[in-house]
A and B are shown apart, each in its own frame.
Chain A
Amino acid sequence: MRIAEAWRVALDALRANRLRSLLTMLGVVIGVAAVVALVAIGTGTRQQIERQVEGLGSNLLIVVPGRLEAGAAPTSSPLTLDDVDAVNRIVGDPTRVAVTISSGETVRAGSRTGFASMQGVVETTPTVFVRRLDRGAYLTRTDVSTGRRVAVLGAGVSHDLFGDRDPIGRQITIGGVRFRVIGTFEALGQSLGVDRDSEVHVPVTAAQRLLGTARIDGLAIRAPDRERIAELSAAVVATLAERHPDTDFSAVTQEQILGVLGDILGVLTGVLAAIAGISLLVGGVGVSNIMLVSVRERTREIGLRKAVGARPRDIGVQFLLEAVLLTTTGGIIGLLLGAGTALLVDRLSPVPAALTWWSTALAFGVSAAVGIIFGVVPAQRAGRLDPVVALRAE
């Protein structure tokens, strides 16, 4: 029997029981749709995180007190600007070191109020991290050393307080203290769930005075090249540990952050995909079941086909193709459904989704494989039917 003929016969058989075929497909449809959508969301999220972490700039080393472990309690920072000087001496280039102390503060300009994440920083921030200005200028070394009350606004804060007007040179209050606006940042959007446009950068000295502390939260180093990251990281952590024997320090690189986030995401995606895979499996069992019913119902047809010269293989292939056709059709429908869901999620919710060719190919391949795996037993049974018994069947 020609294979084209076998496909035709299979298609015909499925058409004969349209509703049943559709219901049988449903399990596969849902399974494939779930796999495609979940993988798309997982991939989209991963790509977004990668973009954002890479957006922090390359060769970046972030040093914070405490251990970087899931579930580790946040440690209050013992770091001060003296520690920064010590780190500067190790790095040998102060323009490669940035510091932060951050605090959520209410900001005001005239009658308008907003909420901002105040970042006490030094003048090196735009070079250590990648931050571009929209208007005005960034903080200077003098601003930092004298604790001048000047501020650079995130795009969101600028919009909240000034709308479309130019905020440069205007007065605002941060936590009730007056600052003068000297610049605004380009809009950045969300990063790791943090709205980076709500940041306001002020000199670290001014922030410390406002908060009544001499501490800083942490520091960041831009290593001159990739090879030196490990060495620098060890030296910095060792120095800080020596200066503060009671505290652990951790230094993380961009790769490590990506790695940890990727692992978490990978596990999450894996678990969800496994659940989706189980539904695919259940769908496959349904297909197997219906195919067995179909073999029984068409016993006489099988007997007749054998009587006129069908080999066991011809009958087996016919039923196997029927199962494969059932699951791949379900797979295609599921693919479209899953892709549609992913696109909708991407469009209508903050969760990003990205379709990849391999996940669609995989979904299709898996649905075909489900058809083969779960079609084999019914197909074999059909192929082995004794033609005499089949012809005598009622």
Chain B
Amino acid sequence: MTPAIVATGVSRTYHLDGLDVPALRGVSLTVAAGDYVAVVGTSGSGKSTLMHLLGGLDRPTGGTLLIGGRDVATLSPDELAALRNTTIGFVFQSFHLLARTTAQDNVGLPLVYRGIGRRERRARAAAMLERVGLAHRTGHRPNQLSGGEQQRVAIARALVTGPSVLLADEPTGNLDSTTGGQVLELLESLNAEGVAVVLVTHDREVAARARRQIVMRDGLIVDAA
């Protein structure tokens, strides 16, 4: 089975006021299908930058990156967008739900960009909300949901397209330990169903639950177990 993501010597340098800011300096990493990887490291070590690259939101400035077997460097912006839509699911620390939109329509949003009609979107979104235990919250707007519920809506949104990789950047960062634990359990049960999960966390205990850990410092992977 082809690995979900293969990064080889990937670097990412930002240009800020004529200054080069290297956020990643040659990172090699393989995310196998159904993998469960925790990424830890100090603030500013490049974890989020790595996640953006792995999800095709950004392009590396050096090295090669294969997502679903396709070299990101050869893809047009439209192809990259399609790749994000079909193979990647993002979960963010700050949820990023559309404020004036119901849980159901938030979850159905990725399907909009597949040209799927409203009725089918709603049906599939409802099924996903049920999967994350929010069948009773379909009509709620984000400000009518708790933080844990909002993050579960965001996970349902990430799952609705049936991606092979879930990229979660500090998904429990804004949650208390109990709700954070529920979110983690949800991610783990999804992983058990075969979805690869890459999880950024500051919490050693959380990281320990993953199949393997990657430690980052100054834009490099300094330890992998």
Residues of chain A touching chain B, judged by Cβ–Cβ distance below 8 Å, are 1-2, 5, 12, 16, 300-301, 303-314, 386-388, 391
A298 to chain B: closest residue by CB: B98
**What are 18 pairs between A and B in contact, CB < 8 Å?**
A1-B115, A2-B112, A5-B118, A12-B100, A304-B98, A306-B57, A306-B81, A308-B84, A308-B110, A308-B157, A309-B81, A309-B84, A309-B110, A309-B113, A309-B114, A309-B161, A311-B78, A387-B57
Q: Flag if A308 contacts B98 (CB, 8 Å).
A: no
Judge whether A307 and B57 touch: CB under 8 Å.
yes
Residues of B within 8 A of A305 (CB): 109, 113
- How distant is the Cα of A313 from the Cα of B76 in the complex, in angstroms? 13
The distance in angstroms between the C-alpha atoms of A312 and B55, with both chains bound, is 17
Contact A304 B96, beta carbon cutoff 8 Å: yes
Question: Please, which residues of chain A bring their CB within 8 A of the CB of B90?
Answer: 307-308
Contact between chains at B112 and A307 (CB < 8 Å): no
Contacts A311-B78, A311-B81, A311-B82 known; list 15 others, CB within 8 Å.
A5-B112, A12-B100, A305-B113, A307-B57, A307-B84, A308-B85, A308-B109, A308-B110, A308-B113, A309-B113, A309-B114, A309-B161, A311-B77, A391-B92, A391-B96
B78 close to A313 (CB less than 8 A): yes
B58 an interface residue at 8 Å Cβ cutoff?
A: yes
A386 to B14, CA, bound (A): 13
CB-defined contacts of A304 to chain B, threshold 8 Å:
96, 98, 109
Q: Looking across the interface, which residue of chain B has its beta carbon closest to that of A15?
A: B100
Contact A301 B98 (CB under 8 A): yes
Q: B18 near A: Cβ within 8 Å?
A: no
Contact in complex: B113, A388 (CB < 8 Å): no
> Complex: how many Å from CA A387 to CA B96?
13
Are A310 and B52 touching (Cβ within 8 A)? no
Whether A309 pairs with B98 at a CB distance below 8 angstroms is no
The binding surface of chain A is classed by DSSP as: helix
Q: Which residues of A contact B55 (CB under 8 A)?
A: 307
Nearest CB of B to A250, in Å = 71
State whether A2 touches B115 (Cβ < 8 A).
yes
| Chain B residues with CB under 8 A of A313 | 78
Q: How far is the CB of B86 from chain A (nearest CB, A)?
A: 8
Interface residue tally of chain B, by bracket? 20 to 34
* Nearest Cβ on chain B to A234's Cβ, whole angstroms: 73
Contacts of A309 in B (CB 8 A): 81-82, 84-86, 110, 113-114, 161
A1 touches B113 (CB 8 A): yes
Taking Cβ atoms with an 8 Å cutoff, the residues of B that contact A are 52, 55, 57-58, 77-78, 81-82, 84-86, 90, 92, 96, 98, 100, 109-110, 112-115, 117-118, 157, 161
Check if B52 sits within 8 Å of A388, measured CB to CB: yes
User: Chain A contacts of B78 at CB under 8 A?
Assistant: 311-313
**Are the CB atoms of B100 and A311 closer together than 8 Å?**
no
CB-CB under 8 A for A1 and B57, given A16-B100, A300-B96, A308-B84: no
> B112 to chain A: which residues have CB within 8 Å?
1-2, 5, 310
Complex alpha-carbon distance, A167 and B109, angstroms: 85
Among residues of A, the one whose C-beta sits closest to the C-beta of B77 is: A312
B185 CB to closest chain A CB (Å) equals 24
* A314–B98 touching, CB < 8 Å: no
Given the known interface contacts A5-B112, A16-B100, A391-B57, the answer about A310 and B92 at a Cβ–Cβ threshold of 8 Å is no
Q: Which residues of chain B are near A310, meaning CB under 8 Å?
A: 81, 112-113
- Shortest Cβ distance from A13 into B: residue: B100
Q: CB distance A388 to B58 under 8 Å?
A: yes
The smallest C-beta distance from A12 to any residue of chain B, in angstroms, reads: 7
A174 and B53 CA atoms in complex are apart in Å by: 101
Which B residue's beta carbon lies closest to that of A6? B112
Chain B residues whose C-beta falls within 8 Å of the C-beta of A301 in the assembled complex:
98
Top 3 A-B pairs, shortest CB-CB distance: A309-B85, A308-B110, A309-B113
Please indicate the chain A residues that have their CB under 8 angstroms from the CB of B157 in the complex.
Answer: 308
* Chain A residues with CB below 8 A from B114, complex form: 309
Set of chain A residues within 8 Å of B113, measured between Cβ atoms: 1, 305, 308-311, 314
What residues on B are CB-neighbors of A388 within 8 Å?
52, 57-58
Minimum CB–CB distance from A386 to chain B (whole Å) comes to: 8
Contacts of B58 in A (CB 8 A): 386-388
**Cα–Cα, bound, A12→B52 (Å):** 29
CA of A353 to CA of B84, assembled, Å = 58
Q: Which residue of B lies closest to A303 (CB)?
A: B96
Within the assembled complex, what's the spacing in Å between the Cα atoms of A306 and B58?
Answer: 11
| Chain B positions within 8 Å of A306 at CB level | 57, 81, 84
With a CB–CB cut-off of 8 A, which chain B residues contact A300?
96
Distance A240 CA – B111 CA, assembled complex (angstroms): 87
Q: Which residues of B contact A311 (CB under 8 A)?
A: 77-78, 81-82, 113
Q: Which residues of A contact B77 (CB under 8 A)?
A: 311-312
Instruction: For B57, list chain A residues within 8 Å (CB).
Output: 306-307, 387-388, 391
CB B12 to nearest CB in A, in angstroms, measures: 10
Q: A314: which B residues are within 8 A, CB to CB?
A: 81, 113
Determine how close the nearest CB of chain A comes to the CB of B6; give it in whole angstroms.
21
Residues of B within 8 A of A12 (CB): 100
Q: From residue B156, how far is it (CB to closest CB) to chain A in Å?
A: 12
CA distance A304 to B81 in the complex (A): 12
Question: What CA separation (Å) do A75 and B224 show in the bound complex?
Answer: 107
Q: How far is the CB of B173 from chain A (nearest CB, A)?
A: 15
B contact residues around A312 at 8 Å (CB) = 77-78, 81
Please, how many angstroms separate the alpha-carbon atoms of A313 and B117 in the complex? 19
